[in-house]
């Protein structure tokens, strides 16, 4: 609801804007205002559509790159599975089930504990 101007001194009252005074608004000015509003809305719509199209293109490119990366990783995974020994696969499955991180073993080999070197004996001559 609009506040009444009953308590505001006349010198401080602002006149209503011209667009809101019924005596001054003609049919032509209403149509002109409607046309300008429609043009502004069309401009906003076209800018939004352009921005959305750009974003869609960026996202399509990202999807394409992710699909390629996924395919590459699947091929690598298949290759590693074929090269891994049954012991390594079992160890990996056990690690997945317990949630422990994979150990830092070299690919394709299992690390054996180092054999203690005999002290004091050098190479035989």
Provide the 10 A C-beta neighbour count for residue 91: 16
Report the chain's C-alpha Rg in angstroms: 39
Give the pLDDT score at 28: 83
Could you read off the pLDDT tens digit of each residue along the chain, which spans 125 residues? 445 555 666 666 666 665 555 544 567 888 999 999 999 999 999 999 999 999 999 999 999 999 999 999 999 999 999 999 999 989 988 998 888 776 655 444 444 444 444 444 444 44
> What CA dihedral angle connects 73, 75, 78 and 82, to 10 degrees?
-120
Q: Of 22, 21, 3, which is closest to residue 13 (Cα–Cα)?
A: 3
Reported pTM: 0.47
Q: What angle do CA 72, 73, 77 make, to 5 degrees?
A: 120
CB atoms inside a 10 Å sphere around CB 80? 14
Instruction: Please calculate the CA angle 64-68-73 and round it to the nearest 5 degrees.
Output: 145
Please choose, from the candidates 119, 102, 103, the residue with its C-alpha nearest in 3D space to the C-alpha of residue 111. Answer: 103
C-alpha–C-alpha distance, residues 102 and 80, integer Å: 14
């Amino acid at each position: 609801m609009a506040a009444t101007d009953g308590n505001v001194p006349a010198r401080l009252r602002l006149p209503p804007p011209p667009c809101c005074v019924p005596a001054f608004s003609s049919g032509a000015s209403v149509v002109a205002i409607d046309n300008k509003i429609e043009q502004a809305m069309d401009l906003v719509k076209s800018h939004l559509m352009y921005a959305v199209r750009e974003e869609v293109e960026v996202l399509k490119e990202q999807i394409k790159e992710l699909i390629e990366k996924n395919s590459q990783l699947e091929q690598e995974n298949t290759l590693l599975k074929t090269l891994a020994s049954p012991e390594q696969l079992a160890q990996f499955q056990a690690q997945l089930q317990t949630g422990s991180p994979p150990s830092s073993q070299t690919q394709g080999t299992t690390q054996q504990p180092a054999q203690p070197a005999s002290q004091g004996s050098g190479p035989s001559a």
